[in-house]
Structure 1
Amino acid sequence: MNLPVPVLTIGLLIASNIFMTFAWYGHLKFKSAPLITVVLVSWGIAFFEYLLQVPANRFGYGHFSAAQLKTIQEVISLSVFVLFSWFYLGEKITWNVALGFALICLGAFFIFHRFGGPAH
Protein backbone atom coordinates (compact mmCIF):
# COMPACT_ATOMS: atom_id res chain seq x y z
CA MET A 1 0.00 0.00 0.00
CA ASN A 2 1.43 3.36 -1.04
CA LEU A 3 0.29 6.21 1.14
CA PRO A 4 0.12 9.73 -0.27
CA VAL A 5 3.20 11.76 0.66
CA PRO A 6 1.30 14.18 2.94
CA VAL A 7 -0.34 11.31 4.85
CA LEU A 8 2.96 9.45 5.26
CA THR A 9 4.89 12.57 6.23
CA ILE A 10 2.34 13.89 8.72
CA GLY A 11 1.74 10.44 10.21
CA LEU A 12 5.46 9.92 10.79
CA LEU A 13 5.79 13.42 12.25
CA ILE A 14 2.93 12.81 14.68
CA ALA A 15 4.48 9.54 15.87
CA SER A 16 7.90 11.18 16.06
CA ASN A 17 6.58 14.05 18.16
CA ILE A 18 4.88 11.70 20.60
CA PHE A 19 8.27 10.08 21.26
CA MET A 20 9.98 13.48 21.40
CA THR A 21 7.51 14.86 23.92
CA PHE A 22 7.94 11.87 26.22
CA ALA A 23 11.72 12.06 25.83
CA TRP A 24 11.84 15.74 26.71
CA TYR A 25 9.05 16.05 29.28
CA GLY A 26 7.97 12.59 30.45
CA HIS A 27 10.52 12.58 33.25
CA LEU A 28 8.86 15.57 34.93
CA LYS A 29 6.57 13.15 36.78
CA PHE A 30 9.63 11.39 38.22
CA LYS A 31 11.43 14.20 40.06
CA SER A 32 13.02 11.76 42.50
CA ALA A 33 14.75 9.75 39.74
CA PRO A 34 18.46 10.51 39.37
CA LEU A 35 19.23 12.99 36.60
CA ILE A 36 21.61 10.62 34.81
CA THR A 37 18.86 7.99 34.70
CA VAL A 38 16.29 10.32 33.16
CA VAL A 39 18.87 11.62 30.68
CA LEU A 40 19.74 8.11 29.52
CA VAL A 41 16.09 7.01 29.36
CA SER A 42 15.20 10.20 27.47
CA TRP A 43 18.07 9.59 25.07
CA GLY A 44 16.78 6.08 24.43
CA ILE A 45 13.28 7.37 23.73
CA ALA A 46 14.66 10.10 21.46
CA PHE A 47 16.32 7.40 19.32
CA PHE A 48 12.85 6.29 18.22
CA GLU A 49 11.92 9.90 17.52
CA TYR A 50 14.80 10.13 15.07
CA LEU A 51 13.86 6.82 13.44
CA LEU A 52 10.57 8.47 12.48
CA GLN A 53 11.55 12.14 12.07
CA VAL A 54 14.35 11.63 9.55
CA PRO A 55 12.26 9.50 7.15
CA ALA A 56 9.34 11.92 7.52
CA ASN A 57 11.51 14.79 6.33
CA ARG A 58 13.15 12.65 3.62
CA PHE A 59 9.80 11.52 2.20
CA GLY A 60 8.13 14.91 2.59
CA TYR A 61 10.85 17.10 1.11
CA GLY A 62 10.05 17.90 -2.49
CA HIS A 63 6.32 17.66 -1.93
CA PHE A 64 6.75 20.23 0.85
CA SER A 65 9.42 22.91 1.07
CA ALA A 66 11.81 22.82 4.03
CA ALA A 67 9.92 25.76 5.59
CA GLN A 68 6.63 23.92 5.19
CA LEU A 69 8.07 20.73 6.71
CA LYS A 70 9.36 22.68 9.71
CA THR A 71 6.01 24.44 10.08
CA ILE A 72 4.11 21.14 9.99
CA GLN A 73 6.51 19.73 12.58
CA GLU A 74 6.10 22.71 14.90
CA VAL A 75 2.28 22.71 14.73
CA ILE A 76 2.25 18.96 15.39
CA SER A 77 4.79 19.38 18.19
CA LEU A 78 2.69 22.02 19.94
CA SER A 79 -0.52 20.04 19.43
CA VAL A 80 1.04 16.91 20.92
CA PHE A 81 2.55 18.95 23.76
CA VAL A 82 -0.75 20.61 24.68
CA LEU A 83 -2.46 17.21 24.86
CA PHE A 84 0.50 15.72 26.75
CA SER A 85 0.62 18.50 29.32
CA TRP A 86 -3.14 18.27 29.80
CA PHE A 87 -3.55 14.47 30.00
CA TYR A 88 -0.15 13.31 31.27
CA LEU A 89 1.00 16.21 33.47
CA GLY A 90 -2.50 17.33 34.48
CA GLU A 91 -1.93 20.97 33.54
CA LYS A 92 -4.80 23.21 32.54
CA ILE A 93 -4.93 24.79 29.10
CA THR A 94 -5.25 28.49 29.83
CA TRP A 95 -6.59 31.18 27.54
CA ASN A 96 -3.14 32.62 26.89
CA VAL A 97 -1.78 29.20 25.87
CA ALA A 98 -4.74 28.72 23.53
CA LEU A 99 -4.28 32.22 22.08
CA GLY A 100 -0.56 31.69 21.61
CA PHE A 101 -1.21 28.42 19.84
CA ALA A 102 -3.82 30.09 17.62
CA LEU A 103 -1.28 32.75 16.63
CA ILE A 104 1.25 30.06 15.74
CA CYS A 105 -1.40 28.37 13.59
CA LEU A 106 -2.02 31.74 11.93
CA GLY A 107 1.69 31.86 11.16
CA ALA A 108 1.41 28.39 9.62
CA PHE A 109 -1.39 29.71 7.40
CA PHE A 110 0.99 32.34 6.02
CA ILE A 111 3.69 29.73 5.38
CA PHE A 112 1.30 27.61 3.29
CA HIS A 113 -0.74 30.33 1.58
CA ARG A 114 0.39 31.59 -1.82
CA PHE A 115 -0.22 35.30 -2.16
CA GLY A 116 0.09 35.43 -5.93
CA GLY A 117 3.74 34.30 -5.87
CA PRO A 118 5.31 31.08 -7.05
CA ALA A 119 4.54 27.80 -5.30
CA HIS A 120 6.89 26.73 -2.52
Structure 2
Amino acid sequence: MPYAFVLLIIANCFMTLAWYGHLKYLQAAPLWQVILISWGIAFFEYLFMIPATRMLSHQGWAMGQMKITQEVFTLLVFVPFMIYMFKQPFKLDYLWAGLCLLGCVYFVFRSQ
Protein backbone atom coordinates (compact mmCIF):
# COMPACT_ATOMS: atom_id res chain seq x y z
CA MET A 1 0.00 0.00 0.00
CA PRO A 2 2.73 2.61 0.73
CA TYR A 3 4.04 2.04 -2.80
CA ALA A 4 0.59 2.89 -4.18
CA PHE A 5 0.60 6.07 -2.07
CA VAL A 6 3.95 7.12 -3.54
CA LEU A 7 2.51 6.58 -7.01
CA LEU A 8 -0.54 8.68 -6.07
CA ILE A 9 1.69 11.55 -4.92
CA ILE A 10 3.73 11.44 -8.14
CA ALA A 11 0.56 11.24 -10.25
CA ASN A 12 -0.90 14.25 -8.47
CA CYS A 13 2.28 16.24 -9.03
CA PHE A 14 1.94 15.69 -12.77
CA MET A 15 -1.78 16.40 -12.81
CA THR A 16 -1.46 19.59 -10.79
CA LEU A 17 1.23 20.77 -13.18
CA ALA A 18 -0.94 19.84 -16.18
CA TRP A 19 -3.98 21.67 -14.81
CA TYR A 20 -2.33 24.78 -13.37
CA GLY A 21 1.27 25.03 -14.61
CA HIS A 22 0.21 26.79 -17.79
CA LEU A 23 -1.00 29.73 -15.70
CA LYS A 24 2.62 30.41 -14.77
CA TYR A 25 4.68 29.01 -17.63
CA LEU A 26 2.54 29.30 -20.76
CA GLN A 27 0.57 32.52 -20.34
CA ALA A 28 1.50 33.82 -23.78
CA ALA A 29 0.97 30.51 -25.59
CA PRO A 30 -2.14 29.96 -27.72
CA LEU A 31 -4.83 27.86 -26.09
CA TRP A 32 -4.41 24.92 -28.48
CA GLN A 33 -0.71 24.66 -27.52
CA VAL A 34 -1.53 24.85 -23.82
CA ILE A 35 -4.07 22.06 -24.21
CA LEU A 36 -1.64 19.81 -26.10
CA ILE A 37 1.16 20.43 -23.60
CA SER A 38 -1.20 19.80 -20.68
CA TRP A 39 -2.37 16.56 -22.27
CA GLY A 40 1.26 15.53 -22.68
CA ILE A 41 1.92 16.18 -19.00
CA ALA A 42 -1.30 14.42 -17.99
CA PHE A 43 -0.11 11.31 -19.85
CA PHE A 44 2.55 10.90 -17.17
CA GLU A 45 -0.09 11.27 -14.49
CA TYR A 46 -1.86 8.24 -15.97
CA LEU A 47 1.39 6.25 -15.95
CA PHE A 48 1.38 6.53 -12.15
CA MET A 49 -2.33 6.77 -11.33
CA ILE A 50 -3.46 3.61 -13.14
CA PRO A 51 -0.96 1.28 -11.41
CA ALA A 52 -1.77 2.89 -8.03
CA THR A 53 -5.51 2.35 -8.39
CA ARG A 54 -5.00 -1.19 -9.64
CA MET A 55 -2.84 -1.98 -6.63
CA LEU A 56 -5.43 -0.61 -4.24
CA SER A 57 -8.23 -2.40 -6.08
CA HIS A 58 -6.37 -5.72 -5.85
CA GLN A 59 -5.99 -5.10 -2.11
CA GLY A 60 -9.76 -4.93 -1.79
CA TRP A 61 -10.33 -1.18 -1.68
CA ALA A 62 -13.73 0.01 -2.84
CA MET A 63 -13.95 2.70 -5.51
CA GLY A 64 -15.21 5.27 -3.01
CA GLN A 65 -12.25 4.59 -0.76
CA MET A 66 -9.84 5.01 -3.65
CA LYS A 67 -11.46 8.27 -4.76
CA ILE A 68 -11.49 9.87 -1.30
CA THR A 69 -7.87 8.81 -0.79
CA GLN A 70 -7.03 10.36 -4.16
CA GLU A 71 -8.65 13.63 -3.04
CA VAL A 72 -6.56 13.66 0.13
CA PHE A 73 -3.40 13.31 -1.94
CA THR A 74 -4.64 15.99 -4.33
CA LEU A 75 -4.92 18.46 -1.46
CA LEU A 76 -1.55 17.40 -0.03
CA VAL A 77 0.09 18.13 -3.39
CA PHE A 78 -1.94 21.17 -4.40
CA VAL A 79 -1.46 23.31 -1.29
CA PRO A 80 2.37 23.30 -1.40
CA PHE A 81 2.22 23.77 -5.19
CA MET A 82 0.00 26.80 -4.75
CA ILE A 83 2.16 28.29 -1.99
CA TYR A 84 5.61 27.73 -3.53
CA MET A 85 4.94 27.93 -7.28
CA PHE A 86 2.31 30.65 -7.27
CA LYS A 87 3.27 32.46 -4.05
CA GLN A 88 -0.31 32.27 -2.77
CA PRO A 89 -0.72 32.81 0.98
CA PHE A 90 -1.64 29.88 3.19
CA LYS A 91 -5.09 30.21 4.74
CA LEU A 92 -6.54 28.33 7.65
CA ASP A 93 -9.41 27.38 5.35
CA TYR A 94 -7.04 24.89 3.68
CA LEU A 95 -6.49 23.25 7.05
CA TRP A 96 -10.25 23.07 7.65
CA ALA A 97 -10.75 21.61 4.18
CA GLY A 98 -8.12 18.99 5.00
CA LEU A 99 -9.91 18.13 8.23
CA CYS A 100 -13.16 17.75 6.28
CA LEU A 101 -11.38 15.33 3.95
CA LEU A 102 -10.18 13.37 6.97
CA GLY A 103 -13.83 13.14 7.98
CA CYS A 104 -14.57 11.76 4.51
CA VAL A 105 -11.79 9.22 4.96
CA TYR A 106 -13.30 8.17 8.27
CA PHE A 107 -16.74 7.63 6.79
CA VAL A 108 -15.65 5.68 3.71
CA PHE A 109 -13.39 3.39 5.72
CA ARG A 110 -15.45 2.93 8.91
CA SER A 111 -17.60 0.11 7.56
CA GLN A 112 -14.62 -2.18 7.00
Q: Normalised by the size of structure 2, how large is the TM-score?
A: 0.90
1:82 counterpart = 2:66: no
Quick one: which of 1, 18, 23 aligns to 1:23? Answer: 18
Alignment of 1:1-120 (within 5 A): 6-29=1-24, 30-63=26-59, 64-114=61-111, 119=112
Q: CA RMSD in A?
A: 1.3
The runs of 4+ residues in structure 1 deviating greater than 6 Å are none
User: Counterpart amino acid of 2:7?
Assistant: L
| 2:67 aligned counterpart, secondary structure | helix
**Count of residue pairs brought into register by the alignment:** 110
Whole-angstrom CA distance in 1 between matches of 2:74 and 2:94: 14
Which has the larger helix fraction? Answer: 2
- Stretches of structure 1 lacking an aligned partner (at least 5 in a row): 1-5
TM-superposed CA distance for 1:62, in Å, is 3.2
Q: Percent identity?
A: 40
Could you give the per-residue CA deviations for residues 6-50 of structure 1, whole angstroms, max 9, x where no partner exists? Answer: 112111111111000000011111322221111111000000001
Q: Normalised by the size of structure 1, how large is the TM-score?
A: 0.84
